[in-house]
């Protein structure tokens, strides 16, 4: 196995690490509530990509109905978990954004630090 093929094989995992690191940075160091929501969404996308990358097998096909039952199929559980995670993530993101809108209506700002100091 050459270095180039090894780097291409590990590209999804490198992308997972980058997505999670960028998301964690946004969660820890950003004060804007919208940027915090985007950071959490990046972490969620990294986890979804990790699940899909773990379930991938070279030379296999998607687990859908085909005319060739002897063909090797990819294990369907990571794909099902990822679909479920996408739906749950969409609902959580919508809820967080609606909270951000309500906070903006009440306090007039979406800066998390300013809203912590107001409390009331």
Query: What's the CATH number where 23 sits?
Result: 1.10.287.3510
pLDDT higher than 80, residue 82: yes
**Which whole number is the average pLDDT over 94-100?**
96
Q: Map the chain to HEC letters.
A: CCHHHHHHHHHHHHHHHHHHHHHHHHHHHCCEHHHHHHHHHHHHHHHHHHHHHHHCCCCCECCCCCCCCCCCECCCHHHHHHHHHHHHHHHHHHHHHHHHHHHHHHHCCCEHHHHHHHCC
Tokens read off for 23: 């998301």
What's the rounded Cα separation, in Å, for the pair 46 and 101? 26
The 10s digit of each residue's pLDDT in 41-72 is 999 999 999 999 888 777 777 777 666 566 77
Query: Into how many domains does the chain fold?
Result: 1
The CA-atom distances, in angstroms, between 42 and each of 15, 30, 59, 103, 116 are: 11, 14, 29, 22, 24
Question: What pLDDT score does 13 carry?
Answer: 92
Question: What pLDDT score does 116 carry?
Answer: 76
pLDDT higher than 90, residue 78: no
What's the whole-model pTM score?
A: 0.83
The 10s digit of each residue's pLDDT in 12-26 is 899 999 999 999 999
pLDDT band at 5 (very low <50, low <70, confident <90, very high): low
pLDDT higher than 80, residue 33: yes
The range of the structural domain enclosing residue 109 comes to 3-118
pLDDT higher than 90, residue 102: yes
């Amino acid at each position: 196995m050459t270095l180039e093929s090894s780097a291409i094989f590990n590209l999804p995992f490198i992308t997972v690490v980058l997505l999670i690191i960028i998301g964690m940075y946004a969660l820890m160091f950003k004060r804007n509530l919208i940027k915090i929501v985007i950071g959490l969404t990046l972490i969620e996308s990294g986890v979804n990509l990790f699940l899909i990358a773990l379930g991938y097998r070279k030379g296999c096909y998607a687990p859908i109905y085909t005319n060739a039952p002897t063909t090797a199929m990819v294990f369907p559980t990571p794909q099902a978990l990822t679909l479920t995670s996408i739906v749950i993530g969409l609902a959580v993101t919508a809820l967080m954004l609606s909270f951000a809108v309500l906070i903006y209506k009440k306090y007039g700002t979406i800066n998390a630090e300013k809203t912590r100091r107001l409390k009331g």
